[in-house]
């Protein structure tokens, strides 16, 4: 393992259902400080799109974690890579500044979900308070007009201190897909594109990486998609029995109670 891709919520920290009030999970500081001290490159990849990558890094740094702005990634980071490769230059966004700012910084124009607005693609992310029927209608008709549809995540839930909370990207995508029959392209975890973005950021091949996370449907499948090393922890969505009944080829290579146990293994 030459580099590490670390999940955030449920792995390093835990917040509330509004993505606020972050607190460190056991071993998070030990792991990141150990990686930094040993010169092992790492990045933090969260499927959340409330914050920009720089804001994610800032929030973690305020908790004492040694995370620089260029070490934080979100689905918006991968969306930039995908949209530039596919020639999408004008994107309708059902989401906030956590998506629009990274896209615009890369030279991609973003437009709000207003029916009749021309766009090359539609992307859905965190859009809980702002979501309206008119916004859904705008997305639907943009897809009817030929725009491909992208989702930050298709996870049913994300881990919070209050238990599981529903992911908005999945809910929005379900409506648009049901009405239009469109394909939903995921740019966040567990897509290979997300792992590729992380690998590029670290300057490594995907199969040189260890992917560490708590969600059985995100980090472990993403690791297997790129022949990376999959590490599952039991501090978030997943638990000790999450992989007991799944085929061996989709199990984690290593299961640990928390990232502190991983830090201890690395010290040894």
CA distance 153 to 248: 25
**Residue 53, C-beta contacts closer than 8 angstroms, at least 6 positions apart:** 69, 72, 73, 74, 76, 77, 102
Residue (of 170, 175, 90) closest to 140 by Cα position: 175
Superfamily classification of domain 75-186: HAD superfamily/HAD-like (3.40.50.1000)
Q: Exposed, middle or buried, 39 (CB in 10 Å: 0-12/13-18/19+)?
A: exposed
**What pTM was estimated for this model as a whole?**
0.93
Q: Does residue 19 register a pLDDT over 70?
A: no
| CA distances, 129 to each of 18, 203, 217 (Å) | 10, 37, 26
Q: Which pLDDT belongs to residue 18?
A: 60
Q: Are 129 and 102 in contact (CB under 8 A)?
A: no
* Annotated domain spans of the chain: 3-74+190-267, 75-186
Q: Do domains 3-74+190-267 and 75-186 have the same CATH topology?
A: yes
| CA distances, 247 to each of 45, 125, 180, 223, 241 (Å) | 26, 31, 34, 15, 13
Task: For domain 3-74+190-267, give the fold.
Answer: Rossmann fold (3.40.50)
Give the least confident one: 108-122, 131-145, 205-219, 229-243. Answer: 229-243
For residue range 59-71, list pLDDT tens digits in order: 999 999 999 999 9
CA distance 80 to 187: 9
Q: Is 203 left (phi over 0), alpha (psi -120 to 50) or beta?
A: left
């Amino acid at each position: 393992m030459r580099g590490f891709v670390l999940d955030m919520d449920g792995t390093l920290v835990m917040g509330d259902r509004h993505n606020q009030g972050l607190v460190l999970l056991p071993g998070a500081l030990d792991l990141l400080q150990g990686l930094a001290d040993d010169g092992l490159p790492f990045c933090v990849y969260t499927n959340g799109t409330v914050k920009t990558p720089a804001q994610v890094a800032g929030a973690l740094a305020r908790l004492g974690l040694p995370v620089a702005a260029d070490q934080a990634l979100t689905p918006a980071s991968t969306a930039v890579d995908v949209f530039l490769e596919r020639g999408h230059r004008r994107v309708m966004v059902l989401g906030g500044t956590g998506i629009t700012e990274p896209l615009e910084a890369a030279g991609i124009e973003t437009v709000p979900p207003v029916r009749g607005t021309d766009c090359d693609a539609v992307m859905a992310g965190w859009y809980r308070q702002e979501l309206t029927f008119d916004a859904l209608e705008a997305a639907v008709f943009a897809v009817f007009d030929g725009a491909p549809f992208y989702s930050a995540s298709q996870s049913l839930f994300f881990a919070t201190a209050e238990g599981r909370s529903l992911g908005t990207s999945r809910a929005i995508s379900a409506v648009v897909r049901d009405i239009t029959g469109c394909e939903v392209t995921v740019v966040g975890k567990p897509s290979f594109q997300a792992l590729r973005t992380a690998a590029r950021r670290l300057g490594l091949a995907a199969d040189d990486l260890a992917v560490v996370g708590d969600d059985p449907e995100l980090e472990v499948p993403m690791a297997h998609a790129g022949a990376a090393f999959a590490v599952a922890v039991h501090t978030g969505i997943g638990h000790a029995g999450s992989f007991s009944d799944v085929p061996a080829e989709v199990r984690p290579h290593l299961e640990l109670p928390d990232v502190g146990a991983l830090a201890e293994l690395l010290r040894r």
